[in-house]
Amino acid sequence: MCLDERYVPYLQMARLYHLARLNNRCFRLDEPLVSAFVERWRPETHTFHMPFGECTITLQDVAYQLGLPVDGHYVSGCLTDFHVYIEGGRPAWQRFQELLGVLPPADQIQKFAVNCTWFQETFGECPDGADEETLFADKSSNRIHIRWLPFVARLEEMGGYSWRSVALAWLYRCMCQVANRHVVKLAGPLQLLQSWIFWRFPGFRPVGYDAFSWPLASRWSGYNPGVSEKGPRVQMARLRIDMLQARDVSTLSTYV
């Protein structure tokens, strides 16, 4: 989705403009590669079990890849009964309509999550002559759970939270969930996971992406893994992981 320049002051206020620029440029997920790595994830230790030993994504990795702050207020809340704690005790969907000015149709809602297609169709373009109220109402993203609305509602305070911790904890949680054989879809900040793979394992990096920028994940903007059959690509990624040795892993000096 194109990033309208009129949104920039609000994104800067939230200290998330650099992430918006990252998402504004095409960053396609290499699903077979990511899936092969997630198969190595062990919920008991929160590490990837590799042929050479264990490794994991750290807060420092999140800082380099996404440029998120670690200092600040912690982000917490109940995942199941969050709607009981909405500000003022109002129903969750009433608060949603107050913030965005519109409610999604029932076929665009999955429990308390709204499909990304509805956000894109409803807020994908900033209308000509939009005033501050209209600009402030745009909170579009991929499928988003409405429990995040209390944070998004106060953009001036968003930069004061430890979003680095949130991103890492959420990625850990999603990978632990997909380790359950009954779960078939992987969610979470997968841009972080894929960028970490490219940085830590140079043998998996796409060719031709040599320019450094900030955050470091933006280096891979424009990467397109192709649309070839996924099955053989997953098998190939598994074989390449099986052959990894300690010398194939980059150290922190890669970031400097």
- Per residue, the 3-state secondary structure of 127-173, as one string, reads CCCCCHHHHHCCCCCCCEEHHHHHHHCCHHHHCCECHHHHHHHHHHH
Among residues 106, 122, 157, the one where a domain terminates is: 157
Write out the two tokens for 86: 């909405």
**Do 241 and 173 sit in the same domain of this protein?**
yes
pLDDT in the model for residue 236: 94
> In terms of domains, do 67 and 92 share one?
no
- Give the end of a domain, one of 157, 179, 211: 157
**What is the block-wise mean pLDDT of the chain (256 residues), using blocks of 10 residues?**
71 77 69 93 95 94 88 68 61 79 88 79 65 34 63 77 88 86 72 93 91 84 79 93 94 47
In which domain, by residue range, is 138 found? 76-157
Closest alpha carbon to 192 in 37, 9, 2: 37
Residue at a domain's end among 125, 157, 189: 157
- Identify the pLDDT of residue 85: 54
Give whole-number Cα distances, 146 to 96, 111, 172, in Å. 7, 10, 21
Q: Is 256 contained in some domain? A: no
Comparing C-alpha atoms, which of 28, 49, 29, 27 is closest to residue 38? 49
Residue 255 inside a domain? The answer is no
**pLDDT of 196:** 95
pTM equals: 0.75
